Structure 1
Amino acid sequence: MTQRYSGLILLILAGELIFSLPFHITRFFKSGVLEVFQISNTNLGDAFAFYGILALLSYFPGGYLADKYPPRKLIFYSLLLTGIGGIYFATIPKPTMLPYLYAFWGITTILFFWGALIKYTSDWGGMDQQGRAFGYLEAGRALVASIFSSIAFLLVYLVSQNSESFSRNSIQLVILFYAITTIVLSFLILFFLRDKTKQKISRSPIGSPLNITIYPVFLISIIIVCAYCGFRSIDNISLYLVEIGNLTPIEASGFVTLLSYVRIISALVAGFVADKITSITLIIRLFILTIIGQSILFSVYPQTFYHSLLVNGTLIIVFISIVSLRAVYFSLITHSHIPSHRFGFCVGIISLVGFTPDIFFHSLTGRILDAQPGIIGFQNYYLVTMLISILGLLASLNLSRWMSSKSLLK
């Protein structure tokens, strides 16, 4: 039992820390990165575009690799190569080199890693604890992000104690902290993570029959697209609170920070509930709750105290629903009659489609908000997100019917 949970802890650490170099540093120390690297938001955005394109192209072949090779080795190489990229990042390369570095990370964090991570998590949960396994993963990742960002903040504070801005040394220290931690973790994975799926690894030749049903894969892809759009939509909660809720930026930031801790609890609870009532049943209920919340945000203008109370409460409910969806949607794969030796292949297809919002969502919603600033823009914004959630609900209902027809529900 101890060895089983130690493997899950290593998996959780890997699942978050591998994304710390491309994402955490710019998320928590963005102004310092822009200043030290002497780049603009546009330059950084272009670098992320390179990451997004290479990551998207890596999902499908990464799923194929997850079916062919032990997860332990795939995760080891992913962490090691990503950490080495971090060492280069710490040298403060020229701005022209950042797109290439982020493209490199787009490959190392996804190609060898993502399919292996999801497959190992699924195998850890077995048939009876899929929701719990993915709930642990999501909650653990949120906790790891909070802990390591706090350590990074402490390092910056100690180095820049007498300064009001980030120094080159403080940014380099943070980058090295994440890079070295990632490399050390890669060797911990190599030596201590058990290959739980070793007996299931397929060596079937290229061109052999896939033996999978496309319909559930298609529906799960749609569900994840819609749920992931919801997850990306919470990035604008603080902006809504400032522009519409009349909170100060600091108050809005504090509200969102508190929500980040709610994410940990929500993911854990969602995992346990999913195992009790089945993942698809929970997902249907969460989509319904999300749609109700988004309809309130679409129709209510927080002019009075009671309206503001209603809106703030609704934001919390929508947030809980969305992060709970994110915690359990991958558990649908195991319960959809997909052969274990094609699990990684299906993860690749589903992720390729499911994470396309990384390309279009912010561009689309940014234009919606800019077209009509103020309450009208946000009403249109929540109308669009509500329509996306309705599509996710319809896909979930269809998947539930398909599962029932195949006697796959408990």
Structure 2
Amino acid sequence: MTLFLFLRRCIKLIKHKDKLVITSIAAGYNLIYNLYVMKALYYSTMIEGLHLTHYQLGRIYSMYGILAMFSYLCGAFFLKKFQSKKLIYIPLMITSFVSLFLASLPSYTLILLMFGIAGFTVGATFYPAYLSILHNTGNPENQGKVFSTFFFMNSIFGSIFSIIGFKIISLMNNSESQIRFLFLFYGILTFISAIFSIITLKDIKDTEKDEGKKFDKKQIMAVVKNKNIFLTIIVVFANYVAVANFTYILPYLSYNFNLPDYVLNTISVVRMYLIIIIAAPIAGSITDKLQSSAKLMRISFILYIATIFIMVFIFPRNPIMTIICSIMICFFAYGGKSMALITIDETGISRKLYGVAISYISFVAYSPDVFYFSLSGWILDNCKTYGYSIVFVMSAVISLIGLIASSLLIKRKYKSQ
């Protein structure tokens, strides 16, 4: 079955109302996470336009990560207390205002504060709500199709928005004007997405609220002590580091090979959005056929590690092979990302505890936001010659740990059957 036939089949299997819901959430997801993604798309523009060092930009994203990480623990509470549709459009509006404020190019302290607000808003509200809505769309047997369709639509929106953004900033002469426009551009789009969400999500029902209003300590501890949950955390953590490493691919290519801006911009759009259009449906198809996202993650880790090794140690001075390897790295990591959280279905927890499990997994698994960018920024500032190689190898070692965890998760699943 070809990729396009699979996508067509996925879309056919999803009800018309659900298609609108997935489209709305995909657009909102792309835009609310844009402040986080900007470092991967516009790293050099942010450094120059905001007059920052690598370490300072790393601290900004560490601030975002710290607030997001702790806010994940609030996710289950918000999901129980508020309608999920409100947890979609209200944080979109807040993020829109944050982005519009950043367009004024405020001081470094205010930039830290704004990114902290954005991080908390995403983690405490939008993140658990979008996962809950998607998880309740379809059934356990076709979660691969639902999530691959979601990531496909997310990539379509991302490709369109980033191509427009790159085209317009290419007409500007200085980095300050470019970063100012980007904050304005994405702030306005995010507000429009919030309005679209209000319209399309008005009929969403929250099934979790019908399954129990309260969590007792025994239930929460059952999630915390669940060994399969612990293995899932390691799997998601390792994949998240692999995806976070995308931030350094463009600077690596620019530093080593002095590629022109139009080539770097093209690679940026391809690796951030166009690749996932292909990777997510393929990952979804494999997951549904294997009936196991853990098996998909194991394949993803193996290929990611192998490609990092080839890029860093076999073709370190070959620009063509480095570009090919960098694209393949994104393909394998993104394929894994699109299915990583579905691994929770293999832990054996009840649907009632889904919100608690997601909050706990996210709190730990997304902790690289707190330290990884600052650590990587410090390595790049202090290890000029081999800094990028060290960062890439570090991510490969973490992926090896993820590979071991996914294999153990598969083994435990079959033992329990």
SS at match of 2:336: helix
Instruction: Quote the residue 1:398 is aligned against.
Output: 408
Is there any run of 5+ residues in structure 1 with no aligned partner, and where? none
2:156 corresponds to which of 119, 122, 143: 143
Contact kept in structure 1, 2:62 and 2:369, CA below 8 Å:
no
The answer on 1:122 being equivalent to 2:135 is: yes
SS at match of 1:209: helix
- Tell me: CA distance 1:147–1:314, structure 2 relative to 1, closer, same or farther (3 Å): closer
Letter in 1 for 2:306: I
- Tell me: CA distance 1:52–1:316, structure 2 relative to 1, closer, same or farther (3 Å): closer
Instruction: Quote the residue 1:340 is aligned against.
Output: 351
Contact kept in structure 1, 2:59 and 2:373, CA below 8 Å:
no
SS at match of 2:141: coil
Q: In the TM superposition, what is the alpha-carbon distance from 1:8 to its structure 2 partner? A: 0.5
* In structure 1, distance between residues paired with 2:36 and 2:392: 29
* In structure 2, distance between residues paired with 1:72 and 1:137: 17
Letter in 2 for 1:83: S
1:85 corresponds to which of 77, 93, 98: 98
The answer on 1:186 being equivalent to 2:194 is: yes
- Tell me: CA distance 1:208–1:287, structure 2 relative to 1, closer, same or farther (3 Å): same
Contact kept in structure 2, 1:28 and 1:149, CA below 8 Å:
no
* In structure 2, distance between residues paired with 1:124 and 1:206: 24
Q: In the TM superposition, what is the alpha-carbon distance from 1:115 to its structure 2 partner? A: 1.0
Greater mean alpha carbon deviation, residues 101-110 or residues 43-52: 43-52
Paired residues, what number? 395
The answer on 1:317 being equivalent to 2:347 is: no
- Tell me: CA distance 1:221–1:285, structure 2 relative to 1, closer, same or farther (3 Å): same
Say what the alpha-carbon RMSD is for the aligned residues. Answer: 3.2
Contact kept in structure 2, 1:87 and 1:179, CA below 8 Å:
yes
Letter in 2 for 1:394: I
Q: In the TM superposition, what is the alpha-carbon distance from 1:324 to its structure 2 partner? A: 0.7
* In structure 2, distance between residues paired with 1:371 and 1:44: 15
- Tell me: CA distance 1:247–1:165, structure 2 relative to 1, closer, same or farther (3 Å): closer
The answer on 1:56 being equivalent to 2:65 is: no
| Normalised TM-score (structure 1) | 0.83
Q: In the TM superposition, what is the alpha-carbon distance from 1:206 to its structure 2 partner? A: 4.9
Contact kept in structure 2, 1:300 and 1:311, CA below 8 Å:
no
* In structure 1, distance between residues paired with 2:379 and 2:44: 25
Contact kept in structure 1, 2:235 and 2:402, CA below 8 Å:
yes
1:230 corresponds to which of 242, 249, 271: 242
Instruction: Quote the residue 2:9 is aligned against.
Output: none
* In structure 2, distance between residues paired with 1:378 and 1:45: 15
Greater mean alpha carbon deviation, residues 143-152 or residues 108-117: 143-152
- Tell me: CA distance 1:175–1:51, structure 2 relative to 1, closer, same or farther (3 Å): same
SS at match of 2:125: coil
* In structure 2, distance between residues paired with 1:321 and 1:11: 24
Contact kept in structure 2, 1:123 and 1:196, CA below 8 Å:
no
- Tell me: CA distance 1:319–1:95, structure 2 relative to 1, closer, same or farther (3 Å): closer
Instruction: Quote the residue 2:10 is aligned against.
Output: none
Contact kept in structure 2, 1:263 and 1:320, CA below 8 Å:
yes
Structure whose CA Rg is larger: 1
Residue identity over aligned pairs, in percent, reads 23
Contact kept in structure 2, 1:10 and 1:189, CA below 8 Å:
yes
* In structure 1, distance between residues paired with 2:359 and 2:236: 13
SS at match of 2:218: coil
* In structure 1, distance between residues paired with 2:371 and 2:344: 25
* In structure 1, distance between residues paired with 2:68 and 2:233: 17
Alignment of 1:5-404 (within 5 A): 5-21=19-35, 23-24=37-38, 27-28=41-42, 31=45, 35=49, 39-41=51-53, 45-153=58-166, 164-165=173-174, 174-193=182-201, 196-201=204-209, 202-207=211-216, 209-210=218-219, 212=223, 214-244=226-256, 246=257, 248-250=259-261, 251-260=263-272, 261-277=274-290, 278-302=292-316, 311-368=322-379, 373-374=384-385, 380-404=390-414
- Tell me: CA distance 1:284–1:7, structure 2 relative to 1, closer, same or farther (3 Å): same
- Tell me: CA distance 1:125–1:336, structure 2 relative to 1, closer, same or farther (3 Å): farther
- Tell me: CA distance 1:47–1:229, structure 2 relative to 1, closer, same or farther (3 Å): closer
* In structure 1, distance between residues paired with 2:52 and 2:36: 16
* In structure 2, distance between residues paired with 1:34 and 1:192: 39
Q: In the TM superposition, what is the alpha-carbon distance from 1:172 to its structure 2 partner? A: 5.5
Letter in 1 for 2:20: S
